[in-house]
Amino acid sequence: MNILTNAEKRTYGAIVIGSGMAGGWAAKEFCEKGIKTLVLERGRKVTHNEDYPTTLLNPWEFPHRGRLTNEEIAENPIISKCYAFREDAKHFFVKDKEQPYVQDKPFDWIRGYQVGGKSLLWARQTQRWSQLDFDGPERDGFAVAWPISYKDIDPWYSHVEKFAGISGNKDGLDSLPDGDFLPPMELTCVEKHFQQEIKKLYQDRHVIIGRCAHLTQPQDIHFQQGRAQCLGRNLCQRGCPYGGYFSANSSTLPWAAKTGNMTLRPDSIVHSIIYDEKKAKAIGVRVIDAHTKEMVEYYAKVIFVTAAAMNTNAILLNSTSNRFPNGLGNDSGILGKYVAFHNYRASISAEYDGYLDFKSEGGRPNSGYIPRFRNLHKQETNFLRGYAAGMNAGRSSSTNREGLGESLKNSLLNPKYTNWYAGSHMMGETIPKESNQIKLDPSKKDENGLPIIHFDVSYDDNDEKMIKDFFEQFTEMYSKAGFTNIKTRDSHQAPGLDIHEMGGARMGKDPKTSILNKWNQMHMVKNVFVTDGASMTSTSTQNPSLTYMALTARAVDYAVKEMKKRNI
Ligand SMILES: Cc1cc2nc3c(=O)[nH]c(=O)nc-3n(C[C@H](O)[C@H](O)[C@H](O)COP(=O)(O)OP(=O)(O)OC[C@H]3O[C@@H](n4cnc5c(N)ncnc54)[C@H](O)[C@@H]3O)c2cc1C
Ligand code: SF4
């Protein structure tokens, strides 16, 4: 009988760090390709459906009617700014005290530490990048050139879209390529009015229905995942009992588990990656047990780091050795630098006096979307790049709940409706800069023995100019389309609240100015791959998760081919 040693028992084909949006895809792809895969997750186990405690609760069953208490807000000044941190979903967020960090400059860091990560919490907007986005840094002279183009990732977008299920309309726009879509959701009548007016007024601006990860018409591949049609409950952040939206918990992780090749270890905090100088490669990871605080090592041929952008940077910076004293693969010294994010500070609201025979009811878990139109084909403003925007129009209703019997019944059956309100929020591209960076504290450690992370990240003049332009352009668009009572708002929120932090271990062509090559593979450590937001060379305007998922699937495909050739 072949008896395995303890180290052999802890040896796998691949290790995936983090089980969220990107990690779930890495696990699925490796396991489908027959690789024994260990998925290490610092948070607790959350099993689809079994661990969604609020999913079927009625509004009156929440002790605080869905709101946070004053104590919770006082204890969580950062996380309580996030719109989704509320009574029905708060158990999926990291509370402010749980993993403290230092804000050298204000940064609202929103995290979900559990199996599934933030894939349980996301708003499910899923737009592809276009070639115009990949051309950005080179054309406009910032960061470094992307080492990939749209055609490299196009088939992997399709691969992800078909499995995850993305609803959308084929709009035929060069700024926002169409994907392999399930049927689109519908715009409300006032959103359609805005769409038509904008089409008449501007050749280059478009209002479309958002592309989102919801099963509007599930296909066989979705039924095989045990998922069913989205019923428009719009209570997604509680976890969807039908698997109506895509999350790692409902989709990629159970799929990986079904192959028999996945070992999922929750409560396993990756401390660092072990580099073997003689072998000139990474051989495994050091893991702290979240309960016992014991350190255990696990080994594998290939390691995927998908712990969400900032934690991925922290793990790499903490992976020091004689060969890499400043962090794994960090000969260039840029690890942790060129952090960027999306600028979500600006919004606009307006009213429309009309369409009073129509109302908006039901729970469409989606909104309208206005793709970037500024500086698209050439530089035309006093700031670089541009912004996309969301667009929503609806009506609120209220009922008089006083009285009893017939009169109460009549009031309940005849709610009063407001005028149509409409609004847009800006989703701006920010320019990655060396000075926007995260660092590890040289001496202070958290309760798990991990160095405390410092954030030194801020907006710049380009962001301020972009906000001004958004206000001018959208005020003009709404007023020309017949809207009134137009109000603009700059929330002045800190970076981070957009929840799209990126960079720090960017992709690039030159090892002197980037950490990863065109396969998301470390230039300096060929068996380590980074495929989450940390790998992003620039940010564009689109919600980023679809791109992380596509990059991950593409990188696993490459890694497995390289493993078979014994190159890694
Ligand atoms: C309210 C909200 C709305 C959003 N809306 C959208 C949207 O509409 N569209 C979009 O594209 N994106 C959206 N996002 C962002 C999206 O959730 C993230 O882009 C995505 O989840 C990132 O994937 P990830 O795998 O990198 O990180 P995550 O999904 O966060 O997964 C990372 C995992 O790694 C684990 N981990 C971290 N450190 C360690 C460690 N040391 N050891 C082991 N495990 C570790 C974490 O616990 C976590 O489970 C939204 C996010 C939120 C919170
Ligand atoms: S809107 Fe769809 S995905 Fe969201 S909770 Fe409802 S059924 Fe589930």
Degrees, nearest 5: CA angle 109-432-148:
110
pLDDT band, very low/low/confident/very high, at 225 (cuts 50, 70, 90): very high
8 A C-beta contact, residue 387 and residue 374 = yes
Question: Half-sphere exposure of residue 388, counting CA atoms within 13 Å on the CB side?
Answer: 26
pLDDT band, very low/low/confident/very high, at 2 (cuts 50, 70, 90): low
Ligand 1: centre distance to CA 58 (Å): 28
- The per-type count for the chain, helices as H runs and strands as E runs, is 12, 21
Ligand 1 within 6 A of 269 CB?
yes
Query: What's the pLDDT tens digit per position in 252-279?
Result: 999 999 999 999 999 999 999 999 999 9
Which of the ligands is closest to the CA of residue 56?
2
For residue 362, pLDDT over 80 is answered with no
What is the C-alpha to C-alpha distance for residues 19 and 39, in angstroms, rounded to an integer? 7
**Per DSSP, which regions of 414-458 are E strands?**
416-417, 420-429, 437-445, 451-456
Query: What's the pLDDT tens digit per position in 5-31?
Result: 788 889 999 999 999 999 999 999 999
- Per-residue confidence (pLDDT) for residue 240, from 0 to 100: 96
* CB contact set of 185 (below 8 Å; sequence gap of 6+): 167, 209, 210, 212, 214, 216, 364, 366
8 A C-beta contact, residue 429 and residue 538 = yes
Could you give the 3-state DSSP secondary structure of residue 296? strand
Which whole-number Å values give the CA distances from 325 to 200, 310, 311, 478, in the listed order?
59, 19, 19, 55
Which of the ligands is closest to the CA of residue 123?
1
Ligand 2: centre distance to CA 121 (Å): 12
8 A C-beta contact, residue 14 and residue 303 = yes
Across the range 484-507, mean pLDDT stands at: 97
Return the ligand 2 atom nearest residue 214 CA. 3
Ligand 2: centre distance to CA 217 (Å): 13
What is the C-alpha to C-alpha distance for residues 331 and 205, in angstroms, rounded to an integer? 44
Across the range 405-417, mean pLDDT stands at: 88
Across the range 128-141, mean pLDDT stands at: 98
Mean pLDDT taken over the chain: 96
- Per-residue confidence (pLDDT) for residue 403, from 0 to 100: 84
For residue 499, pLDDT over 90 is answered with yes
Which whole-number Å values give the CA distances from 479 to 345, 372, 473, 476, 486, in the listed order?
21, 19, 10, 5, 8
Across the range 539-557, mean pLDDT stands at: 98
What is the C-alpha to C-alpha distance for residues 207 and 197, in angstroms, rounded to an integer? 10
- Per-residue confidence (pLDDT) for residue 63, from 0 to 100: 95
Query: What's the pLDDT tens digit per position in 289-326?
Result: 999 999 999 999 999 999 999 999 999 999 999 999 99
Ligand 2: centre distance to CA 232 (Å): 5
8 A C-beta contact, residue 542 and residue 128 = yes
What is the C-alpha to C-alpha distance for residues 228 and 218, in angstroms, rounded to an integer? 6
Q: Which residues of 293-313 are buried (b: 16+ CB within 10 A; e: fewer)?
A: eeeeebbbbbbbbbbbbbbbb
What is the C-alpha to C-alpha distance for residues 349 and 487, in angstroms, rounded to an integer? 5
Type of residue found at 141: G
By DSSP bridging, strand 37-40 and strand 262-265 are: parallel
Site to probe by mutation for ligand 2, drawn from 214, 229, 238 as the one with most ligand atoms within 8 Å of Cβ, is 214
Which of the ligands is closest to the CA of residue 235?
2
pLDDT band, very low/low/confident/very high, at 473 (cuts 50, 70, 90): very high
Ligand 1 within 6 A of 121 CB?
yes
8 A C-beta contact, residue 86 and residue 172 = no
For residue 78, pLDDT over 80 is answered with yes
In total, the chain counts a number of residues equal to 568
Radius of gyration of the chain (CA): 24
Return the ligand 1 atom nearest residue 93 CA. 53
* CB contact set of 200 (below 8 Å; sequence gap of 6+): none
8 A C-beta contact, residue 296 and residue 68 = no
- Per-residue confidence (pLDDT) for residue 124, from 0 to 100: 98
* CB contact set of 157 (below 8 Å; sequence gap of 6+): 128, 177, 179, 546, 547, 550
Site to probe by mutation for ligand 1, drawn from 51, 121, 122, 286 as the one with most ligand atoms within 8 Å of Cβ, is 122
Of all residues in the chain, the percent with pLDDT exceeding 90 is 92
- Per-residue confidence (pLDDT) for residue 1, from 0 to 100: 53
